[in-house]
Amino acid sequence: MADGPSLRGKSAYFVLAWAILALDQWSKWLVEEHLPVLASQPVIPGLLSFTHVRNTGVAFGLFAAHGDAFRTWALAGVGCLALAVVMVYFHRTPREDRLLLTSLGLVLGGAVGNLLDRIAAGAVTDFVDVYVGTYHWHTFNVADSAITVGLLLMAWDALRPRTATAQTAGRETDQAAETA
């Protein structure tokens, strides 16, 4: 239902998702072309390096497939399911709810970026290595950053107080979309 009223006025959020996807894929391509796997290039010594890592799992390397084709496709299937949920949520969100649509656009762009990697190569390229001394955060990429920021914005949106007028306007928009 791409022509449905609930997608009208949301093109800017699709542009955001495409921009995240493009930046993610471009940055991963640069790393893959110029930095061998497991090689590291300091950017800010003592704080930030670009380190080329191939992640066969999900966030933080959980459920790593390690070359197991079934696990790789299972993770891709879970990614597709999550992407479908985000698309339904995006479709149902009133266009006046800009913060939520922005967060969903970030999640959408990041999810597609990592899903493309998983399907095409069986692993996701991670390269942003943040550390202090010997403590390293898990290596991540642009898509992971967009997903994280999107989820944090979504949580903030869900927890912030709503005015009665905003809640009424959202319900009226939803009802108008359903009857159109």
177 near 5, Cβ under 8 Å?
Answer: yes
Residues taking part in catalysis: 126, 144
Structural domain spans, the chain: 5-179
Q: Quote the tokens at residue 136.
A: 């390293």
CA-wise closest residue to 114 among 69, 152, 148: 148
Give the long-range contacts of residues 177-180, CB within 8 A, separation 24 or more.
177/4, 177/5, 177/6, 177/94, 180/5
62 near 162, Cβ under 8 Å?
Answer: no
Ordered strands of the 40-44 beta sheet? 40-44, 48-55, 124-132, 135-136
| Residue pLDDT, tens place only, 82-135 | 889 888 988 899 989 999 999 999 999 999 999 999 888 888 999 999 999 889
- Is residue 73 scored above 90 in pLDDT? no
The reported pTM is 0.79
